A and B are shown apart, each in its own frame.
Chain A
Amino acid sequence: MRVLVGVKRVIDFAVKVRVKPDKTSVVTDNVPHSMNPFDEIALEEAVKLKEANHAKEIVAFSLGPAKNQEILRTALAKGADKAIHLEVDDATYQKVEPFHVAQAIAKLAKDEKFDLVFLGKQAIDDDANQTGQLVAGFLNWPQATFASKVETEGTSHLKVTREIDGGLETIKVKLPAVLTADLRLNEPRYATLPNIMKAKKKPIDKKTPKDLGLDLTSQTEVLEVSEPPTRKGGEFVEDVPTLVKKLKEKGAL
């Protein structure tokens, strides 16, 4: 089984995100970035599949500017065999949407005959939760999203436990398939220093949008990005009926 793992470079979760004064987006220049945590989980699961001899090769993929090489190197250090970097400039990247990323992944999956596309369930910057589902749609492949447990069923199927609103759902999907990783799937290992050194020798293939016939026309337009309103003080009420009345007044009930 050959696995394609999509990894996104996002603002590190510990950073205090700030909105640009012109309200077009958040500040990303000189802000610490990392691999999207859900993508780390997807990569870790792929590595575990390889260690259990269910997967033969893991290829990490990222669409983005030159800086994305950093997280591809991290992916190589964490166990990917090779990496593919679909490079676009910063200005173009600002307008890239899950729709475009999904197209790129779908094309790669088909052309290079991957058996499994493994993504994080969503990115922590846009929380879109679309890419995996779109890829499955483009390829007409089965999808198992919000995976919290992945097991093999022979060489043709995967049994996946999904975290859904009602609890846990277990489904069986036929390969090739698309999976997206949820938080409790695993705990990603640290890249080791020796692996970081070895990763320098692993290949990163460069591709352009043209190579994949990618149409980067925007589907959406961002009108404004602003901070949530600052929290105002609350008030104490004497009893429950008053509380219910206040909640109704404020439209919460």
Chain B
Amino acid sequence: MFRGMQSYCVDPTLGLNAEQKEIQKLAKEFARNELYPHMEEFDTMGKLPRDTMKKAGEIGFGAIYCSEKFGGTGLTRFDASLIFEQLAAGCSSTAAYMSIHNMCAWMIDEFGTDEHRKKYLPSMAAYETLGSYCLTEPDSGSDAAALRTSAKRVGDHYILNGSKAFISGSGDSGVYLVMLRHEGQPGPKGIFCLLVEDGTPGLHLGKNEKKLGWCTHPTRIITFEDCQVSVSNQIGGDNQGFNIAMMGINGGRVNIASCSLGAAQNSFDLAIEHLKVRKQFGKPLADFQWNQFKLAEMAMKLVTSRLMLREAAQHLTEKTPQMASLCAMAKLYVTDTCFEVVNHALQMHGGYGILKDYPLQQYLRDCRVHQIIEGTNEIMRMIIARDVLTNANYLTG
């Protein structure tokens, strides 16, 4: 194959301005030096790479879209998605946890008081204090508003009882942002958000789950047993909890989608290089039309994913009325499509694809998780369907 003189059509730098390219380049450099060489080790160790994350904190990756006033980096959602895409190429699971942490920091920044911000944001920005987002329960996943973990107001404290499931970062986290139900108040309006610090008596950690993917950070059930938390830890209004959870998760969805995209892009590039080098039946695999056509399809999937993601990020930045639906759409489309890309890339590697010496299987396992968490891809469809059926359409206005 002849060598072309330009960058390929799937170049992630296309369409970016100079500042965005610089941010992307920094994240790429960090991923290439600090994450990629260790991604297998992180996956096998099954622990958060705290030292590496502290380095990321020093660069400003800990509170990317929080305001600069209390130590955030003050960038946009678009910038954040560029960053997570690059970090995910280095380790998709660690990047995904970092995005959850960023979501928690943002929730404190956006809905907390100045006291909350002053107390927690600087150390969260540095990845010294880690955050966990606690919405899902053993009995309520997709039906999130049906959560049951309760808070009973007694004087200037809340007494918490109940369990939260699939809590990423739990055990390492310093702060848990917990969505709770005021005792006796049903429905989404009965939910509020409370910040629970690690080590609070009555907060029990379950075992670290063994998972298919996302192995570089812990996942546990956490249980509250008459856990006493000061009322001053409430984040946002008495009936604002579900709102806060959904606002946080819109951004979370864009970020998770970015993590799938980063993994898929690198898988694609690895596949290209492999096809050029591997020969069978007397010629490189890249000379077989099936592989060429498959690469074309994968390229298209990457470009459409990136467009979808950037569009959603832009809506988020501008806080448009359609942002929740666009974020759901991006999460659904990008996580599904990029899983396919990683899967094909793995297939193109033949037997090597399933060896743990190669990153393809790790990208695959991590991307499989993205299709389920932060709202299943089925729930994403529900959000989009509800939007198009209830809102004004172009025909009837």
Contacts and interface: CB of A to CB of B under 8 A. Distances in A.
Interface of A: 14, 18, 20, 27, 29-31, 70, 73-74, 77, 190-194, 196-197, 200
Given A191-B26, A193-B59, A14 B18 contact: no
A104 to B, nearest CB: 25
A225 to B, nearest CB: 15
Contacts, number: 48
B393 interface: no
B307 to A, nearest CB: 21
A77 B59 CA distance: 11
Contacts of B5: 18, 20, 27, 29-30
B22 A192 contact: no
18 contacts: A18-B5, A27-B3, A30-B6, A30-B7, A31-B7, A70-B18, A70-B22, A73-B18, A190-B26, A190-B30, A190-B58, A191-B59, A192-B58, A192-B59, A193-B60, A193-B64, A193-B75, A196-B19
B46 interface: no
Would you list the 3 A-B pairs with minimal beta carbon distance, nearest first? A193-B60, A30-B6, A193-B73
Taking residues whose C-beta sits less than 8 angstroms from the other chain, chain B's interface range is 20 to 34
B127 to A, nearest CB: 13
Interface in B126-159: none
Given A14-B32, A27-B5, A200 B19 contact: yes
Given A30-B6, A193-B26, A194-B73, 11 more contacts: A14-B32, A20-B5, A27-B3, A29-B6, A190-B59, A191-B26, A192-B59, A193-B73, A194-B60, A194-B74, A196-B23
B225 interface: no
Interface string B59-77: 1110010001000011100
Nearest to A73: B22
A33 B310 CA distance: 25
A18 B68 contact: no
Interface in B28-53: 29-30, 32
A130 to B, nearest CB: 28
Contacts of A20: 5
Nearest to A29: B5
Contacts of B55: 190
Of A14, A31, A190, A196, most buried by chain B (CB within 10 Å of CB) is A190
A193 B23 contact: yes
Contact of A196 (B6, B26, B29, B68): B26
B80 to A, nearest CB: 11
Nearest to B57: A192
B69 to A, nearest CB: 12
Interface string B73-87: 111000000000000
Of A193, A194, A200, most buried by chain B (CB within 10 Å of CB) is A193
A27 B64 CA distance: 36
